[in-house]
Amino acid sequence: MVDWYAKNGRPLPWRKTKDPYLVLVSETMLQQTTVASSLPYYERWVERFPDVGSLASADIDEALVYWAGLGYYSRCHRLHEIAKLATFAGWPKGEGWQSLNGIGPYTAAAMASICDGLPFAAVDGNVERVYARVCADPESGSRLKSAAKRWSEANMPKDTPGEWNQAVMELGATICRPRGPKCLECPIQGHCQAFRDSSQGRLPTPKPKPARIDIDMSIHIRVHKMHFGLIKLESNWWKGLWGFPIVEQLDTGPAARLSGSFSHVVTRHRIKFTVWLEALESCSPEFVWVHPIELHKYALPAPFTRAAKLAETKLLETV
């Protein structure tokens, strides 16, 4: 497995280092985000914050600007807090990784194995899928995760635990895929029970999907002389970021004009946003007034960036 990974692993930038800071940045970004989506953010982030000291000394608002669009913004807050702690107390080792706020079992094991060379099994969805098919295990949920951890630990080479963890994850991401697995290219095909009995498509056993929650919200954008009024958001999803007033129901009044609508998904919530634009004769001090071409300097979550573009288009139609 490790030999296969050395020859076939994707040349991702975070795989070229064992620097705890750079590895932690990548692991944090990859939580609930695909490699393809994370890659440009990682490269831009590292260009601005190349080491732990540069992030620790930066203001959180600037860090959020570089995170904007990745979603799950609490990850950025936690990464910033850890950077400040690490510059003061140094990096933990082994089991100490899980003592850091926001570091769960998977990330702690990944850090301990990659950076410290310790035999901790990092189990994500890719590892669970590889294990479930190799051993034809019909379990799901926590039982599958526990079994996959035991399997990984039993097969892990003691001298290359980090490479093993990354190899199994790479195998799951590129060969043992959820749909259309490339079994004929798999280096452990001869050990795979699912391949022998053609049960790849049924494993791992799907977990019940939580019900989707539909929400309707309105974004109310105030504009004064081609400047948009920004506020700091209080929503749990975007707390501390910049955006526009958002309410579930809005009595827009005759001064507000409809700019458009769109849908956005957050976890299992599908939110339908309706965007309203209202021109003000004076600039209220409750807002920070920003021209559209300067909005990139503020950490706006994706739906508010989209709302701003709708509003700007509506404004240009009236010029």
> Residue ranges of the domains in the chain?
2-202, 213-318
Amino acid in position 131:
Y
Amino acid 235: pLDDT: 80
CATH of domain 213-318: 3.90.79.10
107 Cβ neighbours under 8 A, 6+ residues apart: 24, 27, 28, 31, 97, 122
The series of mean pLDDT values per 10 residues for the chain, 319 residues long, is: 94 95 97 92 97 97 93 93 96 94 94 96 97 97 96 95 97 96 96 96 90 92 94 87 79 71 92 92 90 93 94 79
pTM attached to this predicted model: 0.85
CA distance to 10, 123, 144, per residue, from 136 (Å): 27, 17, 11
Among residues 27, 128, 163, 312, which one is catalytic? 27
Amino acid 88: pLDDT: 93
User: Is 85 in contact with 130 (CB distance < 8 Å)?
Assistant: no
Amino acid in position 241:
L
| Superfamily of structural domain 2-202 | Hypothetical protein; domain 2 (1.10.340.30)
* Residue 27 is a catalytic residue: yes
Amino acid 314: pLDDT: 85
**What is the enclosing helix (H) or strand (E) of 197?**
helix 193-197
